[in-house]
Structure 1
Amino acid sequence: MVESQSNPKKMMWTTLAMMAFSTVWGFGNVVNGFVYFDGTKVIFSWIIMFLLYFVPYALMVGELGATFKNAEGGVSSWVEATMGAKWAYYAGWTYWACHIVYISSKGTGGLRAMAWGIFGNTLWYDSLPTAWTQFATLVVFLFFCWVTSRGIQVLKGLATVAGTSMFIMSILFIIMMFTAPAINPHANYYSINFNWKSLMPTFNIKYLTSLSILVFAVGGCEKISPYVNKVKNPSKNFPKAMMALAIMVMISAILGTFAMALMFDPQIVNKNLNEYISNGPYMAFQRLGEYYHVGGLFMYIYSWCNVIGQFSTLVISIDAPLRMLLGSKQAKEFIPKKLLKVNKHGAYINGIWMVVILSGSLIAAQALLPDAQSVMAQLVKLNSTTMPMRYLWVFAAYIALRKQQAKFETSYQMTKSQPLAYTAGVWCFGITAACCIFGIYSPDSFTLFLNIITPIILVALGLILPAIKKHEDVAILD
């Protein structure tokens, strides 16, 4: 009886695999892969990315999660246990700083989704001067910063609903697209060539500088680490769940790419790159509705799911990373006291002001771009360059864990071979770092400038805060 109380019911490995799949994967990843990598030529890259990066990444997360099963701070807790408090602060800072760009993109994405949901296209929205669209984005961003400061919870609950519905829409798109020719055989479909030339990528500068898009797409599985020890027999079933996850994501990516290939000609996509980066998912659902003789129905459903998803994620992205950073054990040691101020609603008010200044500045700077489509395309690229930087700490923590293997007990190990474990950790760290660095390049000088200056400012600020805190402590002693 005692055993049953202390050992609650464990979840099946299939349940964990589905949870991870809905967390990691989305329809936007399929579209971005198709657009950036010349249609079906992305399939080779997807397969290599899954086998040589995603699978070891997921298994390393499993080992870290199983070893530090009671740690609530995620990656920061892993880094603190293996590398020390100061490195844990830098890990927490990186996780927060990466969200500065992400936050900027949510307002832009939400307004674009709203334009599709109201007008059925973005012709009017894209024709507006960029200063106007960025002003509207800034107003939306400031409103949701206010919502966050007031501790309003309603949108956070909607995020789960929106996320689930978007996941379902992504799966339905693939199924419905492959059944469309049977429903409407006379519609205009493109033929797919399964020859070597149409499936192998062209290894050039564009290819190397776009790889960060794929790394960004498959990252984030560390979010499921708290569930490692909630699976029956984790040493056996967790890797099984991760392999199932990798297979499901790979199948979704490949079938989704073929579904897109039936709809869009890569040559036309390449000539209108910004338009397809900005509007690709909506155009796909619009065309799917035409195949099923329901007009824009699917596009409107997708658009409004995305409106809710973008704006609710905006609130969570302002609030959650900030709480993880300022509410951590390292905060009192490395972050100035003023930033730790909490208002009567329990929100880190000065931290929110820091978000306002940094994300607001990025939103304002993008008013210099020629149009709203350019803004969206730039944000996708900037996100793919900055967001994977947080994955580096996963691999650093894993390498440090294996170096101190005797200190820790775990219910699961990716491999018992130390050389293989080190190789996997260093390999994934190197791939992530290389993709982030290559992803900075852009033929557009302003985009290149933002890609360089944004990480520099965020890293510099992360280094300056502990110095301010140290000065603050000295002043108190004096």
Structure 2
Amino acid sequence: MSTSTQKAAETTKISWPVLAFMAFSTVWGFGNITNGFVYFNGPQVIFSWILMFALYFIPYALMVGELGSAFKNEGGGVSSWLHQTTNAKLAYYAGWTYWACHITYIASKGSGFLKALSWAVFRNAETYDSFPTLYIQLATFGILLLGCYIASLGLNPLKKLLTAAGTCTFIMSLLYIVMMFAAPAINPTAEYVHANLSFSSLIPNFNVTYFTSLSILVFAVGGCEKISPYVNKVENPSKGFPKGMIALAGMVVVCAVLGTLAMSRMFDPAVINESTESFNAYAANSSYWAFQKLGQYYHVGDLFMIIYALCNVISQFAVLILSIDAPLRMLLDNEHTQQFIPQGLHKVNAHGVHSNGIKMVAVLSGSIILVQSFVPGAAAVLRQLTKLNSVCMPMRYLWVFVAYVALRNAYDTIPAEYRFVKNQKVAKFFGVWCFAVTAICCVMGMYDKDPFTFALNVITPVVLTVLGFILPAIAKREQQK
């Protein structure tokens, strides 16, 4: 390599602080703060955040770094990792799980879009919640069909808008924390909540509600496997990547803690938990109320809330289209797993899009949307979708840990520039530990006091899992014929 080429390669390297910020914008969002605050009795979530980061998130992120380092030339993510370490069938199940998890996520995006639009237009929670659930769900179904239509054109016209909206939402999340802490000094006469922050008050009640909500925290901190392609682009990966991940964990901890403390000056957990209706309202609207109150503190009315809501309108719809298209491509474009998928799903239209796959998305996600037409209240629908996503989405993380244990079993044959830990027993322990934490939290998260929500949380993943087993059987029969 010539000196000029070597210098050019060095200039393209990512420093560990840059990697940390890249990962932070991918993993963290303002909704994680509000969900944690609402579901874990306000400031008490701080204890749970710290435990989750120390015992789960940091080892998870470092294991992803090792997998990315070992398979730096594989573009299929978890599916490719499993194909290299195990076999094609497990790779198919990983790809299927990644796609199937997005079925519930896609169902929630239309509701999120309508909620954000309602706040931007009407500037309150009551108007949206006053509409009959049937009408809301029919409108949500219409948005899903529109998203499927745009995805079927093979275009991604909202990608730049998504990036812009996501960046704005991310920046506003950080500004919220800074501005909320500054608010009492700028407007000392405003009404603030005086939360009890003594050590004893921060210890949560370890009851059924607590353990069945842990899946929400697992869902919040997951997804860092998206940055695995950048492992070997980091300066001195063996040292730079773990530094970046530790910095990421530190930033997330700081944001989670400070964000929770900021919200504790605005909202009283006793008011949130006084009734089911109150809880549902806060679960659906707390992020908008937070920015609305912030605007009142700074005497700018609803300005901050409207900006946040408009960013969310764009982001929700763009994410809907991306979530229809990208996971489907990961499942159907993988040449190593095509033998397990019926030929009908491989049908490609004139735009190069798997049209039958999109139809399957419309049927499955649409079924969830239409079933929720019988739920009393739009706020209850959003709460149900939050819990359902916290049960289904983390299931894709399970395959990350399976791939990691398989990689360590092939320690001598598959090299990696970066290793999480050198000791094999310690490495495998963390792989099994994180798998167990994810699985247990997902199973416990299925429980809910509301029978309909409980049934939805159980039936949805079961149906999607069974369908994942049925498709290879259909494909096998096709091949035999």
- Which interval holds the TM-score relative to the shorter structure? over 0.9
Shift of 1:121: 1.1
CA contact (8 A) 1:63 1:410 kept: yes
Pick the aligned partner of 1:374 from 375, 380, 383: 380
1:227 equivalent in alignment to 2:227 = no
Q: Deviations over 1:251-310 (max 9, x none)?
A: 000000000000000000112110011001000000000000000000000000000010
Pick the aligned partner of 2:423 from 417, 438, 448: 417
What is the aligned length? 475
1:170 equivalent in alignment to 2:210 = no
CA contact (8 A) 2:88 2:337 kept: no
CA contact (8 A) 2:405 2:432 kept: yes
Partner of 2:102: 99
Partner of 1:406: 412
Aligned-partner residue type, residue 158 of structure 2: L
Shift of 1:157: 2.0
How far apart are the structure 2 equivalents of 1:445 and 1:41? 27
Q: Deviations over 1:386-415 (max 9, x none)?
A: 000000000010011101101111110000
How far apart are the structure 2 equivalents of 1:279 and 1:468? 44
- For 1:309-388, what aligned pairs fall within 5 Å after superposition? 309-388=315-394
Pick the aligned partner of 2:46 from 43, 48, 54: 43
Partner of 1:457: 463
Aligned-partner residue type, residue 75 of structure 2: E
Which one is further off, 195-204 or 303-312? Answer: 195-204
Pick the aligned partner of 2:156 from 153, 156, 164: 153
Shift of 1:122: 2.8
How far apart are the structure 2 equivalents of 1:121 and 1:151? 36
Secondary structure of residue in 2 paired with 1:40: helix
Q: Deviations over 1:356-415 (max 9, x none)?
A: 100000000000100100100000000000000000000010011101101111110000
Q: Deviations over 1:402-453 (max 9, x none)?
A: 0110111111000001111011101100000000000000111111111111
Aligned-partner residue type, residue 240 of structure 1: K
Secondary structure of residue in 2 paired with 1:47: helix
How far apart are the structure 2 equivalents of 1:49 and 1:129? 38
Shift of 1:152: 2.5
Pick the aligned partner of 1:264 from 264, 267, 285: 267
1:76 equivalent in alignment to 2:82 = no
How far apart are the structure 2 equivalents of 1:408 and 1:3? 30
CA contact (8 A) 1:21 1:248 kept: yes
**Post-superposition, which runs of at least 4 consecutive aligned residues in structure 1 deviate over 6 A?**
none
Shift of 1:346: 1.3
How far apart are the structure 2 equivalents of 1:367 and 1:197? 42
CA contact (8 A) 1:156 1:315 kept: no
**Length-normalised TM-score, structure 2:** 0.98
Pick the aligned partner of 1:283 from 289, 292, 316: 289
How far apart are the structure 1 equivalents of 2:187 and 2:318? 37
1:54 equivalent in alignment to 2:60 = no
CA contact (8 A) 1:145 1:315 kept: yes
CA contact (8 A) 1:101 1:382 kept: yes
**Structure 2 stretches lacking a partner, 5+ long:** none
Shift of 1:3: 5.9
Shift of 1:193: 2.0
1:17 equivalent in alignment to 2:20 = yes
Provide the alpha-carbon RMSD of the alignment: 0.9
- For 1:150-229, what aligned pairs fall within 5 Å after superposition? 150-229=153-232
**Length-normalised TM-score, structure 1:** 0.98
Secondary structure of residue in 1 paired with 2:68: helix
Pick the aligned partner of 2:452 from 446, 453, 472: 446
1:299 equivalent in alignment to 2:297 = no
Secondary structure of residue in 2 paired with 1:263: coil
How far apart are the structure 1 equivalents of 2:388 and 2:65? 29
